[in-house]
Structure 1
Amino acid sequence: MSQQPNSANYRIMTYDSTEEVKLSAGQQLQLLNRREHCFAFVLQQKIKVTLVKKESRISNKAVGGELFLIPPHSVCTLHNAGIQQAEVVLIRFHCERSEEAEDAAELLPYRDSKGLKLLRMPQARSWIQDFQSDCGLSDPALYYQLQSQLYAMAAALLQAVQQPRETEAELISFVEQTKQFMIEQFNLPLDMEELARSSGVSASRFYQAFRSYTGLSPLKYMTKLRLDASMRLLSGTTSSIVDIAHSVGYPDEYYFSRLFKKQMGLAPTEYAQLAKKRVATLVSVFTGDLSAVGMTACASFIKVDNLPREKVLQQLREAEPELILAGPLGEEMHAACSAIAPVLVLEWKSYSWKERLLDISEALGLSSVAERWLTYYDMKVQNARVQLQSSLGDEPILLVHAGQSSFRMFGPRRRKMKDFFYDDLQMASPKSAHQIGFLDTNSLDEIAELGCSSVLFLVPAEASRAYCDQLEESWRRLRQTDQKRRCIFIGYHDRLNYNPTVHDSLIDETVRHLLSSAQ
């Protein structure tokens, strides 16, 4: 059932203007806010902020990269006590209150229990540049963009005030935001040193936290994002090398080509020629193998066994593949598919997905690309092991897939999950599960009887927080005599296929959960 937010509890924010102020050494500037709000962002150096509202007087020091709110009906003094010029960007806006709302001045808070609230957002500098580009001209697209960024700032401020965090938790949150910002804006220039300064901790501490979260340094992570994006463009479009280099953030196409060949073992033109091959998959699991080398299937089936044979063949003919990836096929189906294109049959359930990835990439002439993917994967695995050891030690843990009405417990004899959790991540399995492949049940009681205190639940990414809370409560009740009982929830998207992309996303989710829950 859909739910409508109570609009009486919120305000409508409307962007007004942007102003950049410069404070020379020792200079003070007094800002008198009447009915307007104002976000202030320190571009560089450090300033002392003193804010007086009614009988309240608070102050704080804001440094480059920090954002704070100046509320209406207040007097704010900015003081540059340093010896170098300080710069501050002021973003003014006003709020309209609905008639039903009570006095909502504090619905957009400017302080917390410690005083004036300072906020850090990795995307803030990029947004500030957008606000600075506002010349007062009529540009609807820019206006709506600034409006959305204004609301995002307000949301971040509310979250920071309502959910105060200690320094380490704030750093992990900043790193998580930084990672997402990189994913969304990898094509834009990014100053890593400035990003580190914006974190509020030393550069070495920020780099260490980022590496703990991703398994890579910020520069390596950004490079990987850009080259991964370039592969998708090289394989799926007819764009030139120059255009692709520029579109993924490299203004120098020659540098891009050298970097691409160094990492992939192939020049961009060589890769594009090979990766444009039209490949169809008769098993959905193979799409993850293609994705790892930057390719997309021209036709894909979740499972052909349950489909009319002629329908499958017709779709294959229409897709005009140059290669068909298939699991074991009957003699007639194999012959029919072979009449359309060469068929590579893979006994995918009988051996490791890593070996399968190398087999597929070899057939495509992209072995070096797959090896590069596996190298990055191994780096992430090594990092995840460190986080798991720090969090769990040698404590055994059960692995359970949680559906809406049933559960499947995976034991170390089930290759699908054993390869990742018990081999790659080296999690300890309880002795009671050593001889189990999998156990299907409708009740947690049967799983609890295995005598293990802790459990890792695999849940669909769309599972509600309430569902996870209910699961955790049930588990703790069943294992209430165990002091070390623990629940970990790892979300997954789409299907839990036995392929590279699923394992890669499981690593990200596992590390994210461990680092977030440790704070």
Structure 2
Amino acid sequence: MHPVQPLRELTLQYIDTCEYKVPQHRSHETMTEEYEAFGFVLKGAVQVTLTAGQQQRTAKISFGDVFFLPSSSLCTIRNKEKQPAQVILIRFLTSMRPAGAGTASLFGAFLPQKDLKLHRFRMPRIYSWIQDLWNEGLQQQEPSQYFQVQSYLYAIAAECMSAAGKPSVTDDHLIDYVHQVKQQMVEHCGAPMDVEEMARLSGASYTRFYQVFKKHTGHSPLQYMTVARMNKALRLLANGPSSVTEVAHAVGYPDELYFSRLFKKHMGLSPTEYAACAKTRVANLCPVFGGDFKVLGLSPVLELQREWYTDSNKDKYYKQIEQCKPDLIFTAPVAEDVYRILSQIAPVVMIQWKGYSWKKRLQQIGSRLGIPTVAERWLAYFQVKVEHARGHLQRHLGEEPFLVVSALKPFYRVYGLQRMKVKDLFYDELRVKPPAAAEQITFWDVDSLADIASLDCGNILILAPASLPDEHCIRMEEEWLQLKRSRRQKHCIFIRHEEPLLYNASFYEGLMDQFVDHFIG
């Protein structure tokens, strides 16, 4: 237990609230001096580096997260994302009673720490306090407004103390470094890789770096780099005139014979055999299939919008298809007259996707193109990801039931167990525990979170499109926690995704990566 007397002598005095807008790929520095501060990420995600003396700590802080800045520390806020970030700092003075006893530290007064720590926690309800915090100044204060803001400050401090008292299970700075290394491996997979040098630059031992990398990705650094290189090799062989030698060099293998052996080991066929099959000119008439072609390394010569065949003027689409001179046409089920016209242009592969497993569809596409082993290899790799994500989920969520919901503009869609889409990934693959309320639902479209809250479940997992503003997500989280305030266990988790929400391999792989990043980061 914390000593009671120092706590009773500790006082916090609100000073002001500052706003910082950090453009993409820019940074901002601030010195706390004699004050302490709580930072709140209002929009985007930032990398916060806290420096005090010779010590330094770094962590990625996402929208809706709060972090604590002690006095006499330097805070560097970097925005490495593709969108602008917005951060507010709530500054306050910590002191000890009686008056004149001098300043103190929020943590140092009763929770001594030898090492610098970057404390962070989640508190979305701060969003609804921002206007009050901005309005409150040191001059011409209204007593009621001043005490209201003071109550906010103590509430944030209480949440911070609660979070700080919990054991830390992550190495924030190392996780952020691993995330950077992953991006570098994918974007520069043709460059030489030295795992020992990566570990040295992380500031951790080789063993610790290796452990955190595998915990974050499910693979060793070498395995992860090999997968990145093989994926790029697929795209280069399928979409360019490059020779096997040129592709080998482009993905980091100076010995093309070694590359060919490694490629065949992973893909089940040689680079030359894959390239020959991948040269098939494919017209994809169903956008849902796009992510399936992508994971096979293929780029169709034509892709049409969804349900183009319902257009009264279909002739313009027939002309586009004919002009691209396809060897094969892939489409969702179409009427007999449409099928007959398409068949006159090229052989047609008609694949069902509604109510049909996306995994079986991927295998069907791979088999039709003569590259079934490439599809099988990708599915095996995806299964490793699933098992890795499942482990994180079970550690963080345990047996708590969750509703899976899409935030679609302007409504919400609740997914139940009577519909394969989404159910197969979250409730079947990841084994998220479904609430009893989901058992009889196919899908349920509602106008508000209050409608969803009528179901007997305190936890919600929201699939949010990347275009949905962070402020909107914070408000949704705050609203859900308020709606379920009487429940002891309540969670609101956001998983971002690219639009539109499609039922295919690439989309589900992205969801899986976001899922793991949420629990580890």
TM-score, normalised to structure 1's length? 0.69
Q: How many residues align?
A: 385
Query: Hey, what does 1:248 align to over in structure 2?
Result: 251
Give the distance between the partners of 2:451 and 2:501, measured in 1 at CA. Answer: 23
Distance 1:448 1:279, change over 3 A: same
Aligned residue among 407, 418, 440 for 1:402? 407
Alignment CA distance shift 1:110-1:300 (3 Å): closer
Deviation at 1:180, TM superposition (A): 1.3
Alpha-carbon separation, structure 2, partners of 1:305 and 1:340:
16
Cα contact 2:463–2:496 (8 A) shared by 1: yes
Distance 1:392 1:219, change over 3 A: same
CA 1:164–1:444 in structure 2 vs 1: closer, same or farther (change >3 Å)? Answer: closer
Match of 1:468 among 452, 466, 473: 473
Q: 1:200 to 1:430 in 2, by over 3 A?
A: same
Q: Which residue of 1 aligns with 2:365?
A: 360
In structure 2, the residue matched to 1:306 is 310
1:87-236 equivalences in 2 (<5 Å): 112-117=51-56, 168-236=171-239
Unaligned runs of 5+ in 1: 13-108, 122-151
> 1:263-342 to 2 correspondence within 5 Å?
263-303=266-306, 304-307=308-311, 308-342=313-347
> Which moved further from structure 2: 313-322 or 458-467?
458-467
- Aligned equivalents of 2:409, 2:505: Cα separation in 1: 26
Measure, in 2, the Cα distance between the counterparts of 1:447 and 1:119. Answer: 38
Q: Distance in 2 between matches of 1:169 and 1:385?
A: 21
| Cα distance change on mapping 1:153 and 1:407 into 2, 3 Å | closer
In structure 2, the residue matched to 1:499 is 504
In the aligned structure 1, how far is the partner of 2:366 from the partner of 2:341?
Answer: 24
Is residue 2:459 matched to residue 1:454? yes
Tell me the percent identity. Answer: 41
CA distance in 1, matches of 2:314, 2:27: 58
Q: Who is 2:8 aligned against?
A: none
Q: 1:239 matched to which residue of 2?
A: 242
Tell whether the 8 Å contact from 1:120 to 1:198 is kept in structure 2 after alignment: no
Identify which of 368, 375, 381 aligns with 1:376: 381
Distance in 2 between residues matched to 1:313 and 1:162, nearest whole Å: 63
Measure the CA separation in 2 of the matches of 1:110 and 1:418.
39
* Matching residue's letter, 1:426: R
- Which letter maps to 2:451? E
Matched with 2:261 is: 258
- Residue identity in the other structure for 1:323: L
Seen in structure 2, the aligned counterparts of structure 1 residues 163 and 314 have a Cα distance that, compared at 3 Å, is farther
Deviations 1:214-263 (A, max 9, x none): 22111111111111111101010111111111111111111111110111
Distance apart, 1:5 and its partner CA: 6.1
Matched with 1:437 is: 442
Separation of aligned partners in 2, 1:425 and 1:386: 9
Cross-structure match for 1:101: none
Task: Judge which range, 182-191 or 369-378, deviates more.
Answer: 182-191
The answer to whether the 8 A contact 1:406-1:440 is kept is yes
Give 1:32's aligned residue: none
Offset, 1:198: 2.4
Q: Which amino acid aligns with 2:418?
A: R
Q: Distance in 2 between matches of 1:449 and 1:110?
A: 42
Change (3 A) 1:110 1:240: closer
Distance 1:164 1:251 in 2: 46
Offset, 1:116: 4.9
Distance 1:515-1:342 versus aligned 2 partners, 3 A rule: same
Local SS of the residue matching 1:277: coil
Rounded Cα–Cα distance in structure 1 between residues aligned with 2:225 and 2:264: 17
Inter-partner Cα distance in structure 1 for 2:353 and 2:49: 57
- Unaligned 5+ residue runs, structure 2? 1-18, 29-47, 61-75, 81-86, 88-115, 121-167
How far residue 110 of structure 1 moved from its aligned partner, in angstroms, is 10
Structure-2 separation of matches of 1:230 and 1:6: 37
Opposite residue 189 of structure 1, the aligned amino acid is: P
Q: Deviation per CA, 1:335-376, whole angstroms, max 9, x where unpaired?
A: 100000000111221321111111111010000100110010
8 A contact 2:386–2:512 mirrored in 1: yes
Task: Show the counterpart of 2:39.
Answer: none
1:184 is displaced (CA, Å) by 1.6
How far off is 1:205 after superposition? 2.6
Q: Deviations over 1:151-209 (max 9, x none)?
A: x99878xx9x9967776122221111111121221111110122123223332332222
2-structure distance, mates of 1:402, 1:313 = 35
* Structure 1 letter corresponding to 2:385: K
1:508 is aligned to: 513
- Tell me if structure 2 keeps the 8 A contact 1:397–1:430: yes
User: What CA RMSD, in Å, does the superposition of the two structures yield over aligned residues?
Assistant: 2.9
